[in-house]
């Protein structure tokens, strides 16, 4: 869970623009994808949406199979991104509800969904015109 100190740090990062460039955005997305994979997330997908959206540079979309796994995946991503890139999410939504966890790094948005939610929202189809990034071999 993100505490007040983490929130303040994230706000300072956002205001200063520190650590936010195309390379860092890509690295954040790749680290998030690998961390999700390490927690046995299914169908891990990284989309470069910077050319088709102003929302973010990258989306990471993954499937987990239980509420506990969604939380474990989000914590693994948060810990790994912080350890490797010294970045914290600006906000995390849905960790308590457990149906769809959204992690917002500003330039990278991570979506962690249960299979039913992923099938219903079809984010990768909606953003199908975005470039797919091969996160396993990059």
Question: Range of 75's domain?
Answer: 4-133
Domain count of the chain? 1
- Give a yes or no: residue 138 inside a domain: no
- Give a yes or no: residue 126 inside a domain: yes
- Give a yes or no: residue 35 inside a domain: yes
CA 86 to chain centre: 15
CATH of the domain at 102: 3.30.460.10
pLDDT tens, N- to C-terminus, the chain (138 residues): 455 555 555 555 544 344 467 789 999 999 999 999 999 999 999 999 998 888 899 999 999 999 999 999 999 999 999 999 999 999 999 988 768 999 999 999 999 999 999 999 999 888 888 899 999 875
């Amino acid at each position: 869970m993100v505490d007040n100190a983490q929130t303040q740090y994230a706000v300072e990062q956002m205001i200063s623009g520190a650590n936010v460039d195309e390379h860092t955005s890509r690295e954040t997305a790749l680290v998030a994808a690998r961390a999700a994979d390490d927690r046995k997330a299914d169908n891990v997908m990284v989309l470069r949406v910077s050319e088709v959206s102003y929302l973010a540079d990258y989306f990471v979309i993954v499937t987990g199979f239980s509420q506990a796994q969604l939380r474990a995946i989000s914590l693994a991503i948060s810990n790994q991104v912080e350890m490797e890139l010294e970045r914290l999410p600006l906000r995390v939504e849905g960790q308590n509800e457990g149906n769809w966890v959204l992690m917002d790094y500003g330039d990278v948005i991570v979506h962690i969904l249960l299979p039913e939610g992923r099938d219903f929202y079809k984010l990768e189809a909606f953003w199908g015109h975005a470039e797919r990034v091969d996160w396993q071999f990059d």
